[in-house]
């Protein structure tokens, strides 16, 4: 059985989707970017199922949480899984390049493929793809839009939510 819930965060509404194996999706309703998301008819709304995850996200947005203890179950290719696993090693407030992720997964020439895997990340924030930037230090690509990416980075680096 797949469950979902939607709640309001300081940045936007967030939809969580998961099952007994873990969280499968976290969608930021930012009204920006290329990421589209629909709740499937067969999913069952179950707010209590996500209580702990919502509490952890709320703590993150308040600056009180820097790591997550959420059981994850993202669906993707072996390559995507390797990239997403590597993303979870990026410390709170730290920024790394797509190239650095490619090198870390022993595929130094795969920076573009890392970018594609990032764009398919079904659990942003918890799998922190917003912490990945271009080799030139510029903010590039975020499926939910650069505005929210800038805000997430600012939150992590300054401890405050920007206007």
- Catalytic residue positions, numbered: 129
- Exposure string of 35-46, with b = 16+ CB inside 10 Å and e = fewer, is beeeeeeebeee
| Whole-angstrom distance, CA of residue 66 vs CA of residue 73 | 20
Q: What is the residue whose two structure tokens read 């890392």?
A: 114
| Whole-angstrom distance, CA of residue 6 vs CA of residue 50 | 10
| Whole-angstrom distance, CA of residue 70 vs CA of residue 10 | 20
């Amino acid at each position: 059985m797949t469950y979902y819930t939607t709640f309001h965060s300081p940045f936007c509404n967030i939809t969580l989707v998961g099952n007994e194996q873990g969280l499968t999706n976290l969608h930021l309703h930012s009204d920006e970017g290329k990421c589209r998301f629909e709740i499937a008819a067969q999913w069952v709304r179950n707010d209590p199922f996500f209580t702990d995850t919502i509490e952890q996200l709320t703590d993150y947005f308040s600056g009180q949480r820097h790591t997550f203890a959420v059981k994850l179950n993202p669906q993707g290719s072996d390559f995507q899984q390797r990239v997403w696993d590597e993303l979870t090693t990026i410390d709170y407030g730290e920024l790394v390049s797509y190239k650095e992720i490619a090198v870390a997964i022993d595929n130094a020439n795969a920076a573009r493929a890392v970018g594609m895997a990032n764009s398919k990340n079904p659990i942003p924030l918890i799998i922190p793809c917003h912490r990945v930037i271009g080799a030139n230090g510029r903010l590039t690509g975020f499926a939910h839009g650069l505005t929210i990416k800038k805000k997430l980075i600012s939150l992590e680096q300054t401890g405050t939510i920007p206007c």
